[in-house]
Structure 1
Amino acid sequence: MTERYTVISADCHAGADLLDYRPYLASRHHEAFDAWAATYVNPWEDLAAPEAERNWDSDRRLAELEGDGIVAEVVFPNTVPPFFPSGSLVAPAPTREEFVLRWAGLRAHNRWLADFCAQAPGRRAGVAQILLNDVDEAVQEVRWAKEAGLTGGVLLPGVPPGAGLPELHSRVYDPLWAVCDELAVPVNHHAGSASPPLGDEPAARAVFMVETTWFSHRALWHLAFGGAFQRHPGLRLVLTEQGSAWIPGVLDMLEYYHGRLVAAVAPGTAKAATAEAKFGAGLAGSMGKGPKAVWRDHCFVGASFMRRHEALLRDRIGLDKVMWGSDYPHDEGTCPYSREALRTAYAGLPQKEIASMVGGNAARVYGFDLALLDPIAARVGPTAAELAEPLPAPPPDATSPVFAAGGGARVW
């Protein structure tokens, strides 16, 4: 029998059609929902008909993913939930009234998502959404999501500068980390969720593109230096659609600062061993271990549309940390050329290593049952022989940056 890879996309997106959220809202919110929906303006091109149906049409979605060689997916949000002015990833609630309504909207999305995942048992790991304005509410929603079978974990909202919320390193979030540790719920932090508002002029859009992944990376050093992993040893953090080539260099940088901050007093003197040590009082005890050890023991990367230069860094990133994603159904995603994208990234690498990055690691992190998925992959997955061959040329109409000329020079 031909060997085929079991491909699990660690980065896909879905959501309900606008009015289909209404039944998932408590009746007391229906009047407000009707008023909001009547003035709603779609902010995203990929939510326009007819392609928008890929977000909620279960049969179409399964067919397109299988046609792309993918048998299962981690499902992040995509459509705008009730009462939000834009994507919920980037819209904190500034007032109490808006907070109440937006929490209702996110709960509606989460309940819709549980039903959507149930339409394809074992093949969708839905990621529940929360807000951070009320940590107790967030904890309750994590418990509900676990009981409802949303195996993708929880989506950690960004806390951009000026958000009016405590920074992610704050211990105010400890109850959230504790419940995720207790229930083995992965904490996901997706790109685009933590940038401050910059405006809409051309320069602002360019600055956003340069900075957005950096702001997303901040969750790593906030939680690491904040000691969250020390206090909650089962906590797992997944950084998704932020690239992966940055990881070795950032870990080196974090390790450097950690070493300088926790340096002991110079032998035979009362003087600090480094200039930075005066800022690091108490850090060694609260962290418990250095940044590289934190990464090794607690962190993973959803390396969406992975590029060749990233794959060549897999040992420095951690082979067991890398999870490939197609970013379906976004324009920058690899569909319908995921096989070609996989060849671009992985051709010539050992089969066992490819198998880990394209599916095995995601199965372990999100609890997919490979005994269920392998028979499907035996029918639709890319073959080992296919992925062993370098791609001679990218598809002419491919839009994913994985196929971009000179993409190997990118560092993020």
Structure 2
Amino acid sequence: MTSVVPEKRDIDPVAWPMDRETAEDDGWRPPTGTRVVSVDDHGMEEMHLWENRLKGADKLRAPKLWVDEDKRFHMEVEGASYDVPGLDSLLGEGRQGMWDRDERLKDMDSEGIDTSLFFHSRAMSLVRMEDKEFFARCMTVYNEWLAEYCAVAPDRLVGVGILPTLYQPEATRDYLQMMQDLGIRALEIPSAPKNVPYNSSKMEPMWEAIAESGIPVMFHIGAYLEFRGEGATGANLTKNLGPYRPLWSLLAFSGILERNPDLNVVFLEGGFGWVPWTLQDADWVYRTYESQLKPKLAELPSYYFKRQCYAAMMSDDVGLKLARDYDMADNLLWSCDYPHAEGIFGSSRSEIRKIFNVLGDEDGKKVVGGTAERLWNLPPLGS
């Protein structure tokens, strides 16, 4: 048998976000009435945020966030570096809109983005701290700053607060009320917290309180360094972009989704291609091992994803076609991931256009913003 050797092609590297320009405007616009919402963008926290805002003894041990003379950002906690090793921080944090709100809004305008859900850059890394009560106080400082930062343009910048009560689940209801009093309408919890079994009975107060609040819970990929040595950077990055098959399976098979039908769950930066494949396998596992599984579910696992779960894509040709073929456009969201390297800043309009070309106007409008507008009860543009 003669093997077919693929044609070798030159690799065309993508410019770093700090050097990207929005693609030339060809005049195309989404259908009238479309609100474009990127559900996953990032911004840098205020320099020296925790040093300046923590009080008393906390101030003496505050996490240190600063920028050096080369405009590279750094995080240090009690003498330990919290920078991600192996990557130049300018690659994902070098664009001015990362820290300059006016420049961010200009970039959003150039990309045709009406509203951006605004995620942290460094705050979630503090989940590594051993003192979890101190971690919670640091997150409160972050959430208060976030609310202030986004309040200047609440129709365009929607802050994603960090919920720190996974270490004290019974405090979730009160903490969520505090977040809502601040004006925060979106929230995140870690996707892979150490020593926190999300399916434990002690976590039920957290899931119940989140469901009761009506705020979708968001999971975001993280910078987890499993591999070392040759090829480790590429292997780690690729692995980190696909973490959700185990997490969603736990939420489904444990009955968390079934017991909390008002709980909406959003998976970010993992694309959509994993979803049909995972649902297919989960249903087969349930039918095959049903006699051995606890708890018993009233429906197959896929039912609960379709009822209350969502996954966001940036540029995902495979996932987009699968969403169409498996009639799952209602579970698909879109993001730019500004201004990270793996994000699509510079080509957002062409990716949005692709969504409409594949899904049509009705489903396209839902994916690029309509579903997000409903999930987060977004304020009208211009408010």
- TM-score per shorter chain, which class? 0.7 to 0.9
SS state at 1:302 partner: strand
Over 3 Å counting, the alpha-carbon distance change for 1:317 and 1:191 in structure 2 is farther
- Residue aligning to 2:7: none
Counterpart check, 1:167 vs 2:197? yes
Q: Percent same amino acid among aligned pairs? A: 22
Contact 2:45 / 2:120 at 8 angstroms: preserved in 1? Answer: no
* One-letter code aligned to 1:259: R
User: How far does the alpha carbon of each residue in 1:361-408 deviate from its partner, in whole angstroms, 9 at most, with x for none?
Assistant: 111111114xx23x79xxxxxxxxxxxxxxxxxxxxxxxxxxxxxxxx
Counterpart check, 1:320 vs 2:330? yes
Counterpart check, 1:308 vs 2:317? yes
Over 3 Å counting, the alpha-carbon distance change for 1:52 and 1:17 in structure 2 is farther
Structure 1 unaligned regions, length at least 5: 82-86, 263-276, 377-412
SS state at 2:199 partner: coil
Q: How does 1:9-408 map to 2 (within 5 A)?
A: 9-33=38-62, 40=76, 42-43=83-84, 45-46=88-89, 51=94, 53-78=96-121, 80-81=122-123, 88=125, 91-93=127-129, 95-96=130-131, 99-131=132-164, 132-152=166-186, 154-159=187-192, 163=194, 165-192=195-222, 195=224, 197-262=225-290, 277=291, 279-280=292-293, 282-284=294-296, 287-303=297-313, 305-315=314-324, 316=326, 318-347=328-357, 349-369=359-379, 372-373=380-381
For 2:65 and 2:37, the matched residues in 1 are separated by 36
For 2:309 and 2:92, the matched residues in 1 are separated by 37
- Residue aligning to 1:392: none
Contact 1:311 / 1:346 at 8 angstroms: preserved in 2? Answer: no
Q: Structure 1 residue 67: deviation in Å?
A: 1.2
User: How far does the alpha carbon of each residue in 1:47-104 deviate from its partner, in whole angstroms, 9 at most, with x for none?
Assistant: 68993542332221111101110010112211x23xxxxx528x433x33xx233222
For 1:202 and 1:256, the matched residues in 2 are separated by 37
* One-letter code aligned to 2:287: G
Over 3 Å counting, the alpha-carbon distance change for 1:49 and 1:11 in structure 2 is closer
Over 3 Å counting, the alpha-carbon distance change for 1:348 and 1:248 in structure 2 is closer
Q: Which moved more, 1:49-58 or 1:346-355?
A: 49-58
User: How far does the alpha carbon of each residue in 1:11-58 deviate from its partner, in whole angstroms, 9 at most, with x for none?
Assistant: 111232321444432344222227786983654645689935423322
Over 3 Å counting, the alpha-carbon distance change for 1:166 and 1:27 in structure 2 is closer
- Residue aligning to 2:22: none
Contact 1:319 / 1:353 at 8 angstroms: preserved in 2? Answer: yes
SS state at 2:315 partner: coil
Contact 2:91 / 2:341 at 8 angstroms: preserved in 1? Answer: no
User: How far does the alpha carbon of each residue in 1:287-310 deviate from its partner, in whole angstroms, 9 at most, with x for none?
Assistant: 33221110121101122x132332
* One-letter code aligned to 1:25: L
- Residue aligning to 2:35: 6
Contact 2:117 / 2:157 at 8 angstroms: preserved in 1? Answer: yes
Alignment coverage as a number of residue pairs: 337
For 1:328 and 1:50, the matched residues in 2 are separated by 10
SS state at 1:295 partner: helix
For 2:171 and 2:53, the matched residues in 1 are separated by 18
More helix by share: 1
SS state at 2:48 partner: helix
SS state at 2:198 partner: coil
Over 3 Å counting, the alpha-carbon distance change for 1:14 and 1:139 in structure 2 is farther
SS state at 2:240 partner: helix
For 1:213 and 1:64, the matched residues in 2 are separated by 25
For 1:34 and 1:167, the matched residues in 2 are separated by 26
For 2:109 and 2:50, the matched residues in 1 are separated by 27
User: How far does the alpha carbon of each residue in 1:210-230 deviate from its partner, in whole angstroms, 9 at most, with x for none?
Assistant: 432443332211111111122
User: How far does the alpha carbon of each residue in 1:318-343 deviate from its partner, in whole angstroms, 9 at most, with x for none?
Assistant: 11111110001112211122112223
Contact 1:72 / 1:124 at 8 angstroms: preserved in 2? Answer: yes
- Residue aligning to 2:6: none
Q: Normalising to structure 2: TM-score of the pair?
A: 0.79
For 1:39 and 1:57, the matched residues in 2 are separated by 19
Structure 2 unaligned regions, length at least 5: 1-28, 67-73
